[in-house]
Amino acid sequence: DLLKYKEAVDFRLDEESWKDLKVGDILEFWEDFSGWDKWHSERSRQVQVKLVEIFRASSFSDLIDGLPKSFSKWQKKEEIIEDLRKWWTPEREQQMGVLGFFVQVI
């Protein structure tokens, strides 16, 4: 979707590794087309994005509810949360809090 729409909200747990990120930073993603590879493969391609906005909340549900309406144009809240459950349990989500990075392809 990031490549298709040229922007996205990337959801994460509020981990220590994200504490130094700030609006305006340039991030690099490797599009692996499977959604599950930890490392890029020969099928991957690099995507650079600009960090436009950072959203924080205590849960993914609250974070999604707090996003501007324009962010919900591609996927329903229930579908997003179902996808996120493949990565993170509700217990970890509640323990750590969550982030949403609004990024745009550059």
Q: Look at residue 36 and tell me whether its pLDDT is greater than 60.
A: no
Q: Please, which residues have CB within 8 angstroms of residue 51's CB and are 6 or more apart in sequence?
A: 21, 22, 23, 24, 25, 26, 27, 101, 102, 103
pLDDT for 76? 87
pLDDT in tens, 84-100: 999 999 999 999 999 99
Full-model pTM: 0.81
Average confidence (pLDDT) over 34-57: 78
Is residue 55 helix, strand or coil?
A: strand
